[in-house]
Chains A and B, each alone.
Chain A
Amino acid sequence: MAVLMASPAIHAQAEPIDLSFKDMFRATGRGLSPTPALEAANGKRVRVLGFMARLEEAPKGGFWLCSSPVFQDESGAGSGELPPNAIYVIVRGAGKKPVAYLAGKLAISGVLQIKKEAPRLVLTLDSPKEIAPAKGKGSPRQ
Chain B
Amino acid sequence: MKLLCIGTLAMVACSVIAAPKIRIMPYDQARFIEGQMFDVRVEFTPSAAGRTILQPKLEIGGKDYPVKLDKANGFTIRAFSVAKAGPVNIQASASESGDETAASKSAKIVIESAGGRKRRIKNIIICLGDGMGIAHRTAARVVRFGHTNGIPNGWLNMDQMPGYGAVTTSSLVSMVTDSAPGMTGYVSGSHNDNGSEGVYPDNTPTDAFDNPRIEYLSQFLHRKFGTALGIVTTADVEDATPASQMVHTYDRGKGTGIVNQFFAERNRSGLQVLMGGGRRWFLPQGEFGSSRSSSSNYQYPPDVLNSGWNPGGNTIDTSSMAESIDLIKKFEGQGFKYAGTNTELKSIPADATKLLGLFGFGNMNTSLDKIAKRRTPNKLGVVDDYFAPDQPMLDEMATAAIKVLDNNNKANGNKGFNLLIEGAHIDKMSHAMDADRAIWETLEFDRAVGVAMEFAKQNEDTLVIVLADHECSGFSLIGALTKSMAEMNALPSDKDKTQPGIAPDRQKAVGVYEDAGFPKYNILTDGFPAASDIDRKVVVGFGANGDRFEDWMTKPMPIVDSLLSNDIKAKMQKGDVPTGGKYVVAPIDRSPESLRGFFVRGQVPGVQAVHTGTDIPVSVYTKNRDIWLQFVGPQQNIDIFFKLMRAAMGGY
Interface residues of A (CB under 8 A from B): 18, 20-22, 25, 27-34, 47, 49-51, 54, 56, 67-71, 73-85, 101, 103-107, 116-118, 120, 134-141
Closest to B580 in A: A104
A31 adjacent to B362 (CB under 8 Å)? no
Interface centre among A34, A77, A84, A141 (most CB of B within 10 A): A77
Q: Which of A21, A30, A103, A138 contacts B577 (CB 8 A)?
A: A138
Q: Which of B239, B280, B582, B608 contacts A105 (CB 8 A)?
A: B582
Q: Which of B362, B561, B578 contacts A20 (CB 8 A)?
A: B561
- Chain B proximity of A65: nearest CB distance (Å): 10
B339 adjacent to A73 (CB under 8 Å)? no
A68 adjacent to B285 (CB under 8 Å)? no
B460 interface residue (CB < 8 Å to A)? no
Q: Which of B236, B339, B424, B579 contacts A141 (CB 8 A)?
A: B579
Inter-chain contacts of A105 with B (CB < 8 A): 559, 577-579, 582
From known contacts A54-B586, A80-B277, infer whether A116 and B286 are also in contact, taking CB-CB under 8 Å: yes
Other A-B pairs beyond A31-B279, A117-B286, 9, CB < 8 Å: A22-B384, A22-B385, A22-B561, A49-B572, A76-B362, A77-B254, A104-B591, A137-B576, A141-B579
Q: Which of B240, B344, B575 contacts A75 (CB 8 A)?
A: B240
Q: Which of B179, B240, B292, B578 contacts A118 (CB 8 A)?
A: B292
- Chain B proximity of A112: nearest CB distance (Å): 14
B575 adjacent to A31 (CB under 8 Å)? no
Inter-chain contacts of A73 with B (CB < 8 A): 427-428, 431-432, 608
A50 adjacent to B363 (CB under 8 Å)? no
A76 adjacent to B288 (CB under 8 Å)? no
B602 interface residue (CB < 8 Å to A)? no
A136 adjacent to B576 (CB under 8 Å)? yes
A138 adjacent to B288 (CB under 8 Å)? no
B259-306 contacts to A (CB < 8 Å): 277-280, 283, 285-293, 296
B283 adjacent to A31 (CB under 8 Å)? yes
Interface residues of B (CB under 8 A from A): 178-179, 235-236, 238-240, 252-255, 277-280, 283, 285-293, 296, 328, 339-341, 344, 361-363, 382, 384-388, 424, 427-428, 431-432, 558-562, 564, 568-569, 572, 574-586, 589, 591, 606-608
B255 adjacent to A106 (CB under 8 Å)? no
A21 adjacent to B385 (CB under 8 Å)? yes
- Chain A proximity of B596: nearest CB distance (Å): 16
Inter-chain contacts of A85 with B (CB < 8 A): 387
Closest to A49 in B: B561
From known contacts A49-B568, A69-B584, infer whether A83 and B238 are also in contact, taking CB-CB under 8 Å: no
A78 adjacent to B253 (CB under 8 Å)? yes
Main secondary structure of the interface of B (DSSP, over half): loop
Closest to B339 in A: A29
B254 adjacent to A29 (CB under 8 Å)? no
Interface centre among A21, A22, A33, A118 (most CB of B within 10 A): A118
A103 to B594: give the CA distance in the assembly, Å. Answer: 11
A141 to B427: give the CA distance in the assembly, Å. Answer: 32
Interface centre among B341, B427, B608 (most CB of A within 10 A): B608
A75 adjacent to B572 (CB under 8 Å)? no
A27 adjacent to B278 (CB under 8 Å)? no
A4 to B291: give the CA distance in the assembly, Å. Answer: 21
Counting from the closest, the 8 A-B pairs by CB-CB distance are A29-B340, A71-B585, A76-B236, A104-B580, A103-B589, A27-B387, A80-B362, A84-B361
Inter-chain contacts of B382 with A (CB < 8 A): 68
A79 to B281: give the CA distance in the assembly, Å. Answer: 12
A84 adjacent to B572 (CB under 8 Å)? no
B236 adjacent to A103 (CB under 8 Å)? no
Give 18 CB contacts A-B under 8 Å.
A18-B572, A20-B561, A27-B388, A31-B283, A49-B561, A56-B606, A67-B561, A69-B585, A71-B584, A76-B255, A77-B238, A84-B289, A84-B386, A107-B577, A117-B286, A117-B293, A138-B578, A139-B579
A68 adjacent to B385 (CB under 8 Å)? yes
Q: Which of A31, A76, A106, A118 contacts B363 (CB 8 A)?
A: A76
A80 to B254: give the CA distance in the assembly, Å. Answer: 12
A31 adjacent to B579 (CB under 8 Å)? no
Inter-chain contacts of B280 with A (CB < 8 A): 84
From known contacts A67-B560, A83-B385, A84-B386, infer whether A76 and B575 are also in contact, taking CB-CB under 8 Å: no
Interface centre among A27, A73, A136 (most CB of B within 10 A): A73
A96 to B577: give the CA distance in the assembly, Å. Answer: 29
Closest to B284 in A: A31
Inter-chain contacts of B239 with A (CB < 8 A): 75-77, 80
A68 to B581: give the CA distance in the assembly, Å. Answer: 14
Q: Which of B253, B386, B574 contacts A83 (CB 8 A)?
A: B386
B363 adjacent to A75 (CB under 8 Å)? yes
Inter-chain contacts of A47 with B (CB < 8 A): 572
From known contacts A31-B288, A54-B586, A68-B561, infer whether A76 and B278 are also in contact, taking CB-CB under 8 Å: yes
Closest to B295 in A: A118
Interface centre among A80, A103, A118, A134 (most CB of B within 10 A): A80
A78 to B386: give the CA distance in the assembly, Å. Answer: 17
From known contacts A25-B387, A49-B561, A73-B608, infer whether A103 and B586 are also in contact, taking CB-CB under 8 Å: yes
Inter-chain contacts of A101 with B (CB < 8 A): 586
A56 to B611: give the CA distance in the assembly, Å. Answer: 14
A140 adjacent to B344 (CB under 8 Å)? no
A13 to B180: give the CA distance in the assembly, Å. Answer: 50
- Chain B proximity of A60: nearest CB distance (Å): 15
- Chain B proximity of A133: nearest CB distance (Å): 9
B575 adjacent to A138 (CB under 8 Å)? yes
A25 to B277: give the CA distance in the assembly, Å. Answer: 19
A101 to B290: give the CA distance in the assembly, Å. Answer: 26
Inter-chain contacts of A32 with B (CB < 8 A): 287-289, 387
Inter-chain contacts of B559 with A (CB < 8 A): 68, 105
- Chain B proximity of A125: nearest CB distance (Å): 16
A32 to B285: give the CA distance in the assembly, Å. Answer: 13
B291 adjacent to A79 (CB under 8 Å)? yes
Inter-chain contacts of A29 with B (CB < 8 A): 339-341, 344
A84 adjacent to B387 (CB under 8 Å)? yes
A28 to B390: give the CA distance in the assembly, Å. Answer: 11
- Chain A proximity of B440: nearest CB distance (Å): 17
B572 adjacent to A30 (CB under 8 Å)? no
B579 adjacent to A106 (CB under 8 Å)? yes
